[in-house]
Amino acid sequence: MKTLQPDTLIRNPSGAPIVACVTVNCSAACLWQLVGQFSGFDAFIPQMTHTEMTGTGVGALRTKYFRDGHRVVEQLNSWDEHTMHMTWTTIYNTLGIARLWAAMHVEALGTECSKVTWTIIAEPVDVTQVGFEAFVQGFAYSALENVRRLLG
């Protein structure tokens, strides 16, 4: 009988980063208060109904529920309030995404002007899928435009 060895299905995606960013007329602290809350993405992504959290801080899991019935489970990898930066990994979803890693970063451009950058590296389940990168880019940019409307 073969001895069992540690294994995992989780691995980082490969591919070119997909980047969406917007400038918002508010302080970086105000912007981070909205986009830096791992449990609060439903505040600026209207396609979501709510989020359920398991645990707190780095290592916590969030389940995002979408109006069309889709679900996404993600783990918080890093979160730094001082640098206004966080990263997470998708570990389960019903959207056809094989692997996804993402980062959110806020930087001050002045006292009442700041920029948020959402970086995503993702792989579709179906590698022949056309338009996957454009869909991810459009989704992220639309969400950040909602942030601009909410705060700007």
Q: Exposure string (b/e) for 20-42, b if CB count within 10 Å is 16 or more?
A: bebebebbbeebbebbbebeebb
Domains of the chain are: 18-151 (3.30.530.20)
pLDDT at position 121 is: 97
Task: Report d(CA 58, CA 111) in Å as an integer.
Answer: 29
Instruction: Mention every residue, 6+ apart, whose C-beta is less than 8 A from residue 62.
Output: 38, 39, 41, 51, 52, 53, 54, 73, 74, 76
Of the ranges 1-5, 44-48, 93-97, the best mean pLDDT one: 44-48
Summarised one tens digit per residue, pLDDT across range 120-146 is 999 999 877 788 999 999 999 999 999
pLDDT at position 152 is: 80
pLDDT at position 43 is: 96
Task: Report d(CA 21, CA 129) in Å as an integer.
Answer: 25
Q: How many CB atoms lie within 10 A of CB 71?
A: 13
For the chain, how big is the Rg over CA atoms in Å?
A: 16
Summarised one tens digit per residue, pLDDT across range 6-60 is 888 888 899 899 999 999 999 999 999 999 999 999 999 999 999 999 999 999 9
pLDDT at position 19 is: 97
pLDDT at position 134 is: 92
